[in-house]
Amino acid sequence: MKIVVCVKQVPDTKGGVQFNPDGTLNRGAMLAIMNPDDKAGLEAALRLKDEYGAEVTVLTMGLPKATDVLREALAMGADKGILVTDRVLGGADTWATSSTIAAALKKLDYDLIITGRQAIDGDTAQVGPQISEHLDIPVISYAQDIKIDGDSVVVERQFEDRYHVLKAKMPCLITALSELNEPRYMTPGGIFDAVDAEITTWGRADLTELDDANIGLAGSPTKIAKASDKVRKGAGEVVTLDPEESVAYIMGKLTEKHII
Amino acid sequence: MDFALDKKHEMARTLFREFAENEVKPFAQETDETEVFPRAIVDKMAKYGFLGIPVPKEYGGQGCDPLTYAMCVEELAKVCGTTAVIVSAHTSLCIDPIMTYGTEEQKKKYVPDLASGKKLGAFGLTEPGAGTDAQGQQTKAVLDGDEWVLNGSKCFITNGKEADVYIIIAVTGVVEKRGRKQKEISAFIVEKGTPGFTFGTKEKKMGIRGSSTYELIFTDCRIPKENILGAKGKGFGIAMHTLDGGRIGIAAQALGIAEGALDRTVEYVKERKQFGRSIAQFQNTQFQLAEMATSVEAAQLLVYKAAKAKETQKVYSVEAAKAKLFAAQVAMDVTTKAVQLHGGYGYIREYEVERMMRDAKITEIYEGTSEVQRMVISGNLLK
């Protein structure tokens, strides 16, 4: 079985957020980690590898610095790492991102593709399902449990108040939730090997099944018009009311702020 | 000269830090309080290869270097001095002498299980009458046919009773050296469960209370002839070489304890308010923190230099002695200041700094007291 896990390097929420003048994130200036949902997806792939035997390839699109997450994945037990990087691919929205990643996946053999549910920076949860559309394969999102049954996968898909058990023939795509599992740690020896391991790097020229109209900032149907930091909360106010009135007051405030 | 860590060591530090924060820190207070050996944590460390970091891959280890190992002990010690010394005694004092002096058969038999953490190791040198004067050994080993027969006892043995494999130093005879009679000392590998090998008192300690410190007792304990480690009569040299490496581990432990206490203190002084402002805003606090941070960094450089020396030099006794001497002093000094900056709360067991202060003291004593380190360093200066 061949599994490809798509991972993204995202800013560590512990560090500050930096923007470029065009409204996109200045990724080079921020602390970076492997996106938590993707890490769960990778752990799911490694468990399938432990249980059924599989070759796990990890794919990412990003700055050259994104090789860090590939090396982390290798140190956890993945077999191969592929970095898709090119200046012309920068500033992509979900359409351009999924078009590019799908073009890279077309160069690979796969039975299963695993992505995270969503990345903690963009928070769209669009790229996984869009990749499956580009590749014309089924998608099961929000996976909380994955099993293999012959040439099919059986997946529990999380809903707000229940879960569905879905079965799909491979090849297919699954988007994983960070609640799915607890990702394993790297090992010290795994790190030493991963740092010396060769990472395959593909640029625009390597992605033959990709249309220039669908890449980068220019190929993105959506553009970020403006980005700003959250407005800071002002100082609290002290109100003296009797208990009855205070309930009404608090409910009123919560409604006014669209919290309830 | 490059003071920046390379990618490998940077990633290894991230790993050790995350593991220590997530898996070790939540249990550190409980381990101290209950004095129970943290077996579940040791098993988890074994799973991720932490018990065989500098061991070559062909012997089931991780194939990393002494610096990676020292960084592991350092990061563990930041949150729990006990967990750090378990790894250090196992790796430096048991695996290292077998890897350095063992025959191919001994290495193949013992190292893979130790490096994978399936088995735990310990080192028995100290006796009630032979501490700093390690030559004063009383435990005897006599060859009887195909077996060595051990009689005597060892005290203050880290990982005692919990460990499966022990390196034991014993007297095997008397030799004449420059007309004077001297004890001939040899090293042995002894397995737990060997008849005649039992455990005595468990020590009740001031600090590192989850670490299992036991007395070992040998009563006509028979071990196979081939379990002698290195040549007969070379035991003292083996013990001294082993301790050189072990001192880097303890220096790393001391460094970690100091760093942990500094981290806790920086957090605390920013939160704690007196006279209407955080105590971090008082110049006394600021100057204390500056002193602490500076000495911690100086200790770190000495520890890392000693680890590098172990990788690249045949003899690294002086580097190891300097690192241990200084890092242990820093640990004691920084943890004492940390308790002071916490005020009354620092003396309460709920705040981790009092545990760190208790844990720090042992780093000035075990694997050679600070006075022994001064002897090693000055001996080299004046030779």
- Summarize pLDDT for B52-109 with one digit per residue, the tens: 999 999 999 999 999 999 999 999 999 999 999 999 999 999 999 999 999 999 999 9
Residues of chain A contacting B11 with CB distance shorter than 8 Å: 71-72, 75, 186, 191, 194-195
Q: Residue B63 is nearest to which of A75, A185, A192, comparing CB atoms?
A: A192
Residue of A nearest to B18 (CA): A185
The per-residue pLDDT for B241 is: 97
Going from N- to C-terminal start, the domains of chain A cover 2-214
- Summarize pLDDT for B353-378 with one digit per residue, the tens: 999 999 999 999 999 999 999 999 99
Indicate whether A24 pLDDT > 80.
no
What does CATH list as the number for B236-380? 1.20.140.10
Residue from A74, A182, A187 to probe the interface with B (highest B Cβ count within 10 Å): A187
Q: How confident is the model at residue B165 (pLDDT cuts 50, 70, 90)?
A: very high
- Summarize pLDDT for A204-232 with one digit per residue, the tens: 999 999 999 999 998 999 988 887 776 67
Catalytic residue selected from B75, B226, B367, B371 = B367
**A191 reaches B (C-beta below 8 A):** yes
Distance CA A188, CA B91 (A): 14
Q: How confident is the model at residue A42 (pLDDT cuts 50, 70, 90)?
A: very high
Going from N- to C-terminal start, the domains of chain B cover 5-119, 120-234, 236-380
Residues of chain B above pLDDT 70, percent: 100
The overall average pLDDT reported for chain B is: 97
Torsion-angle region of residue B156: left (phi > 0), alpha (psi -120 to 50) or beta?
Answer: left
Distance CA A167, CA B246 (A): 56
Range with the lowest mean pLDDT among A23-27, A48-52, A157-161, B42-46? A23-27
Q: Locate A132 and state its tokens.
A: 């499956």
Which has the closest alpha carbon to B134: B142, B121, B124?
B124
The per-residue pLDDT for B129 is: 93
Q: Are A4 and A84 in contact (CB under 8 A)?
A: no
Q: Residue A188 is nearest to which of B6, B15, B18, comparing CB atoms?
A: B15
Asked whether the beta carbons of residue B72 and residue A189 sit closer than 8 angstroms, the reply is no
Active site residue B147: no
Residues of chain A contacting B8 with CB distance shorter than 8 Å: 191-192, 195
Report the topology of domain A2-214.
Rossmann fold (3.40.50)
Rounded to a whole number, what is the distance in Å from the CA of A34 to chain B's nearest CA?
13
Between the alpha carbon of residue B350 and those of residues A46, B356, B359, B362, the distances in Å are 40, 12, 15, 21
Pairs of CB atoms within 8 A across A/B: 49
Asked whether the beta carbons of residue B8 and residue A75 sit closer than 8 angstroms, the reply is no
Asked whether the beta carbons of residue A191 and residue B15 sit closer than 8 angstroms, the reply is yes
Residues of chain A contacting B49 with CB distance shorter than 8 Å: 187-190
Distance CA B239, CA B241 (A): 6
Domain B5-119, CATH number (from 3.60.15.10, 3.40.50.2000, 1.20.1730.10, 1.10.540.10): 1.10.540.10
Rounded to a whole number, what is the distance in Å from the CA of A95 to chain B's nearest CA?
33
pTM to 2 decimal places: 0.93
The chain B residues in contact with chain A (CB within 8 A) are 6-8, 11-12, 15, 18-19, 48-50, 53, 57, 61-64, 68, 72
The three-class DSSP label of residue B217 is strand
Residues of chain A contacting B91 with CB distance shorter than 8 Å: none
Torsion-angle region of residue B230: left (phi > 0), alpha (psi -120 to 50) or beta?
Answer: left
Q: Average of pLDDT values for B317-335? A: 98
Asked whether the beta carbons of residue A71 and residue B68 sit closer than 8 angstroms, the reply is no
The per-residue pLDDT for A28 is: 72
Distance CA B190, CA B170 (A): 12
Q: Which residues contact B81 (CB under 8 A, 6 or more apart)?
A: B207, B208, B253, B256, B257, B355, B356, B359, B360, B362
Q: Are B212 and B161 in contact (CB under 8 A)?
A: yes
**A217 reaches B (C-beta below 8 A):** no
The per-residue pLDDT for A133 is: 96
- Summarize pLDDT for B176-199 with one digit per residue, the tens: 888 888 899 999 999 999 999 999
Indicate whether B24 pLDDT > 80.
yes
Between the alpha carbon of residue A67 and those of residues A12, A64, A115, A209, B17, the distances in Å are 16, 6, 17, 23, 21
Asked whether the beta carbons of residue A185 and residue B19 sit closer than 8 angstroms, the reply is yes
Q: How confident is the model at residue A31 (pLDDT cuts 50, 70, 90)?
A: confident
- Summarize pLDDT for A110-134 with one digit per residue, the tens: 999 999 999 988 889 999 999 999 9
Burial A120-148 (b: 16+ CB within 10 A, else e): bbbeebbbbbbbbebbebbbbbbbbebeb
Indicate whether B154 pLDDT > 90.
yes
Q: How confident is the model at residue A48 (pLDDT cuts 50, 70, 90)?
A: very high
- Summarize pLDDT for B112-136 with one digit per residue, the tens: 999 999 999 999 999 999 999 988 9
Q: Are B207 and B361 in contact (CB under 8 A)?
A: yes
Asked whether the beta carbons of residue A191 and residue B8 sit closer than 8 angstroms, the reply is yes
Rounded to a whole number, what is the distance in Å from the CA of B12 to chain A's nearest CA?
6
**A14 reaches B (C-beta below 8 A):** no
Which has the closest alpha carbon to B85: B113, B125, B121?
B121
What does CATH list as the number for B120-234? 2.40.110.10
**A72 reaches B (C-beta below 8 A):** yes
Asked whether the beta carbons of residue B49 and residue A191 sit closer than 8 angstroms, the reply is no
Residue of A nearest to B66 (CA): A188
Residue of B nearest to A67 (CA): B7
Asked whether the beta carbons of residue A185 and residue B48 sit closer than 8 angstroms, the reply is yes
Q: What is the DSSP letter of B117?
A: T
Between the alpha carbon of residue B138 and those of residues B126, B195, B196, the distances in Å are 10, 20, 17
Q: Average of pLDDT values for A237-245? A: 87
Residues of chain B contacting A71 with CB distance shorter than 8 Å: 7, 11
Asked whether the beta carbons of residue A191 and residue B72 sit closer than 8 angstroms, the reply is no
**A186 reaches B (C-beta below 8 A):** yes
Asked whether the beta carbons of residue A195 and residue B8 sit closer than 8 angstroms, the reply is yes
